[in-house]
Homo-oligomer: A and B are copies of this chain.
Amino acid sequence: MPVPDRRDIRNLLLKALSDDAFNMLTADARTIQLPVKHSLVDSDQPNEHVCFIEEGLASMVAANGDEEAVEVGHIGHEGMAGLHVVLKTDTTPNRTFIQVAGSGLQVSVENFTGMLAIFPAANQLFLNYMHCCDVQLAHSALANGRYNMHERLARWLLMCHDRLNGNGLPLTHEFLALMLGVRRSGVTNELHVIEGLGAIRTTRGHIRVIDRVRLEEIAAGSYGVPEREYERLIGLPIRRPATQNALSSR
């Protein structure tokens, strides 16, 4: 599929690029569909492309020799998959794959790094984004270490809400459990609690945010620092406006 017109681009990083850099990058790009579980970066495998998410959600997951894994990075229309190529590193032990189906712009690694070499401002933009991801990683560790399921779940829902259109999040409890590294029925319980507090409404395979302010209260300090850093350095808002009782827009 062809690249959409520049004005229709959703990806914030692409929006932040200069016209010249954008044109060079997209000369070689194409729009691809991103079905659930589609792999964007495999563990310890060089990847041929990076992918700018236009719609949907990807997760970066750290895993190891045991079967253990947790999500450490959240990527939506504000970011890209394959960030390690910004550091000119060929592979990474982390995996990245699609969690909520969508679409994205696929660019070859050569073209991407070539563009970075020519446009210093673009290179700096991606270094800034790299830094934001570092902060997000650090705060994933903080959340996992110091907050309980209640707050972590709210944090996770907020991060999804920031990165998806509308207020409906197509997520199963199973998936949330996998990402948070907790037991599935623990997620079920906590979702009920959060629903009882009036922040969300759940139906099978679907969670709707109805009071974002409340959700931010629940997440407490576990949410916010990486998001503010993104806005400071990239210059575009990532956090959604705090709509209360948004019973509209699915």
A interface residues (Cβ-Cβ under 8 A, vs B)? 60, 62-66, 68-70, 72-73, 84, 87-89, 92-94, 124, 127-128, 130-131, 133-135, 137-142, 144-147, 180-181, 220-222, 224-225, 229, 233
Contact = CB atoms under 8 A, between A and B. Distances in A.
Nearest to A228: B93
Contacts of A93: 135, 138, 225, 229
Contact of A62 (B66, B124, B141): B141
Contacts of A73: 138
15 contacts: A62-B139, A64-B225, A68-B221, A68-B222, A70-B146, A72-B141, A73-B138, A87-B128, A89-B128, A92-B134, A93-B225, A134-B137, A137-B138, A140-B145, A145-B181
A103 to B, nearest CB: 26
A88 B127 contact: yes
Contacts of A62: 135, 138-139, 141-142, 225
A70 to B, nearest CB: 4
Contacts of A146: 68-70, 181
A145 B71 CA distance: 9
A88 B122 CA distance: 13
Contact of A89 (B140, B142, B233): B233
A229 B72 CA distance: 17
Contact of A130 (B87, B141, B144): B87
B141 A70 contact: yes
A93 B136 CA distance: 11
